[in-house]
Amino acid sequence: MLISIIIPVFNESENLPFLHNRLISTLKKISHPYELIYINDGSSDSSFVVLKELLIPEMKIIDFSRNFGKEAALSAGLVHAFGDVVIPIDADLQHPPELIEEMVYVHLKGWDVVFASRIDRKNDGFLRGKLTNYFYKINDSMTEHPLPLNSGDFRLMSRKVVDAINSLPEKNRFMKGIYSWVGFKTVNISYEVAPRLKGATSFTLMSLYKLAINGLFNFTTLPLKIWTYIGLSVASFSFLYSILILIKTLVFGVDTPGYASTIIAVLFMGGIQLIGIGVLGEYISLIFTETKQRPAYIIREFINNNND
């Protein structure tokens, strides 16, 4: 059984040697053959140089032409992994490599996916933790593919699962949604997430917001459909209200004042329509990027010491 580890790397030069050593000592203990696939996602520090210094026969380096984002890096790793099981792991040692041993052990009991869920989010900071929880709640109420709370990308997937993910043609890849969409027999083990070893997270609240919007709109059409219902209820309400006004005018005559109610109705309807147009815009932009058929990433250099 070949174990593939895929590691997205963006400015992690200080963490890489530690990660590498801990991965190798864990994998040696498990005593299955393994390969390490590092994806250098356009780092601006010396990560690529450090990776080349760490080169061993079990290792591949995929060097992107620029920063394409973690989701693209993971997709590239999944495509180039040959393993019977594949495990993505963060390079900053927030995901303890030692857990891989337990993942493999659980997988051998017959589970296709073993995902590691973090016990809490205390290392994420208060605001980020709160907002992330809201995202999971909204996601679960809107899509048919709930995302397990507190799950990250740290998980073991069998070959069948990886093939299924690789067969999805979409370029816009929200990996958490994709993992959940493909399904398979999944089990959960928990771990305590460690603080980042060195450096700072590259995800700002804005980039997380984009990721969340991307995740939602890619996996649910509810925001599109809900406008039918909102439109129907606003229209029926207006219909009843206009009958009321008509009768009132017929019975009590014309009564000119009404600026407040008119302006409120106009503003309210204007706001509702703008939201509706915004939602259409989100989906059109997804269709637009998808129809361009651009690859999710471009590889500048592929280093494979093994020549297979």
Among 5, 6, 9, 87, binds ligand UDP (CB under 6 A): 9
Q: Which residues pair with 156 in a beta bridge?
A: 114
Question: Is position 92 an interface residue for Mg ion (rule: CB under 5 A)?
Answer: yes
Residue 59 binding target from Mg ion, ligand UDP, none, CB below 5 to 8 Å by type? none
Question: Is position 202 an interface residue for ligand UDP (rule: CB under 6 A)?
Answer: yes
Question: Is position 203 an interface residue for ligand UDP (rule: CB under 6 A)?
Answer: yes
The span of 62-70, 140-148, 162-170, 271-279 binding ligand UDP (CB under 6 A) equals 62-70
Helices 99-107 & 16-30 angle (0-180, nearest 10): 40
Residue 77 binding target from Mg ion, ligand UDP, none, CB below 5 to 8 Å by type? none
Q: How far is the CB of 42 from ligand UDP (least distance, A)?
A: 8
- Measure CA 40 to chain center: 18
- The sheet carrying 186-191 orders its strands as 186-191, 113-118, 151-158, 85-88, 3-9, 34-40, 59-64, 299-304
Q: Indicate the DSSP class of residue 194.
A: P
Q: Which is nearer to ligand UDP, 201 or 304 (CB)?
A: 201
CB atoms inside a 10 Å sphere around CB 218? 19
Among 117, 201, 214, 304, binds ligand UDP (CB under 6 A): 201
Distance CA 97, CA 72 (A): 22
CB hemisphere CA count around 78 (13 angstroms): 28
Q: How far is the CB of 213 from ligand UDP (least distance, A)?
A: 17
The span of 5-13, 167-175, 269-277, 287-295 binding ligand UDP (CB under 6 A) equals 5-13
Of 84-103, which residues contact ligand UDP (CB under 6 A)? 90-92, 94
CB atoms inside a 10 Å sphere around CB 66? 9
Q: Is 82 helix (H, G, I), strand (E, B) or coil?
A: coil
Among 43, 94, 139, 143, binds Mg ion (CB under 5 A): 94
Q: How far is the CB of 56 from Mg ion (least distance, A)?
A: 24
Angle, CA of 198, 201 and 205, to the nearest 5°: 160
Q: How many angstroms separate the Cα of 146 from the Cα of each of 19, 32, 177, 307?
A: 31, 33, 8, 41
Question: Is position 211 an interface residue for ligand UDP (rule: CB under 6 A)?
Answer: no
Interface residue list for ligand UDP (CB under 6 A): 8-10, 12, 41, 67, 69-70, 73, 90-92, 94, 196, 201-203
